[in-house]
Amino acid sequence: MPWSLRIGRIAGTDIKVHITFLLLLGFFLVAGGAAAALLLLAVFLCVLLHEFGHIAMARRFGVRTPDVILLPIGGVARLERMPEEPRQEFLIALAGPLVTLGLAVAFYVILAARGTPPALVGELFQAGATPVDEMYRINVLLLLFNLLPAFPMDGGRVLRALLASRLGLARATRIAASVGQMMAFALGFWALSQGLILLLLVAFFVFIGASGEAQAVETRMAGRGLFVRDVMVTDFKSLPFSATLNDAAELLVASEQREFPVLTFDGGVAGMLSRDDLVRGLARGGPTALARDAMAGSVALVPTDLPFERAIEVLMGSRIPALPVVENGQLVGMLTRDNITDLVLVRRAVSEK
């Protein structure tokens, strides 16, 4: 996500904060003084612990988490891939709220030990008397909010996982996304009627999150059971090792292809020359410069027998929108973002027929 700063790394996961979160911290500091800012930092820590609940559970199922981003509306742990089974998603989604529940219980116990136990849920919308009261209240609110059955909240994932074990992932996601959007509408209307602008913003994020999730799953489902060889582009041009940028420019103009594999002398892949590489190379070295000097050299090679779902992850994780497909060390095709989009469109049209 742009505009986020990396502030540290714990157990292989980068911790990032979004710039708007820092603005919020500044606002608290100015409006409420050091005590308010400290309280916000304490909440931030609770949210981080919640996210690490998800991260630790995901790791148990072999799913790594490259980063977690803290936004003013909460944290987002970006898992490297979706867990395979609904049961795993269910447990990963539940692990965060369980941490928050644990924190709420801990703060409750502290307050009870002091002889001032808070009402369990009665005074949730009034500011707490002490910082510990306030932390208890905020964690209970976070817990309830996270369990709303709407994407991208944990409750939405729990709902999807429960539905998926009976209905399959695609239908479960569609239903969970619709439920989430209806909830977002209801929440938005209520926020508007109460003049709660921040909550209105949250409702908006929920609405966007629901459709984004549905789309990502549709892409995955479109290619289920397929391998790279079934979806790769086979009609394309490549450049020999000795090709100049002028050769590449002629190919670029003559076709709709934007990325060109550059071959080694024995038919392997030396790298990929993108249109941007080409333009940059022309500006630097002119048309007689070699394509291989302007290309990206260390690109991921995709084997033909890689499952489509894995291939999407490789492609999305790479900087360039097309990757060479190889078999026995020889270039046999290309995997591009465009042809994945096409596949999804075709599959959707067929399934709606």
Alpha carbons 202 and 186: distance in angstroms, whole number: 12
Cβ contacts of 263 within 8 Å, gap of 6 or more: 238, 239, 240, 241, 269, 270, 331
Instruction: Using CB positions, name the residue nearest to Zn ion.
Output: 96
For the chain, report the end-to-end CA distance as a whole number of angstroms: 37
CB of 7 to Zn ion, least distance (A): 19
Binding segment for Zn ion among 89-97, 178-186, 232-240, 280-288 (CB under 5 A)? 89-97
Alpha carbons 256 and 279: distance in angstroms, whole number: 16
Nearest to 68 by CA among 118, 117, 14, 127: 14
CB of 290 to Zn ion, least distance (A): 50
Alpha carbons 73 and 319: distance in angstroms, whole number: 29
Q: Which of 96, 188, 261, 271 binds Zn ion (CB under 5 A)?
A: 96
Q: Is the Cβ of residue 66 or residue 329 nearer to Zn ion in the bound state?
A: 66
CB of 203 to Zn ion, least distance (A): 18
CB of 57 to Zn ion, least distance (A): 11
Q: Is the Cβ of residue 97 or residue 118 nearer to Zn ion in the bound state?
A: 97
CB of 155 to Zn ion, least distance (A): 9
List the interface residues with Zn ion, window 143-162 (CB under 5 A). 154
143 neighbors 97 (Cβ within 8 angstroms): yes
Q: Is the Cβ of residue 98 or residue 279 nearer to Zn ion in the bound state?
A: 98
Q: Is the Cβ of residue 21 or residue 236 nearer to Zn ion in the bound state?
A: 21
Size of residue set near Zn ion by CB under 5 A: 2
DSSP state of 150: S
CB neighbour class for 17 (10 Å; exposed up to 12, middle 13-18, buried from 19): buried
CB of 280 to Zn ion, least distance (A): 42
Nearest to 136 by CA among 42, 203, 234: 42
DSSP state of 301: P
Per-residue x/- track, 197-236, Zn ion (CB under 5 A): ----------------------------------------
Positions in the binding site for Zn ion (CB under 5 A): 96, 154
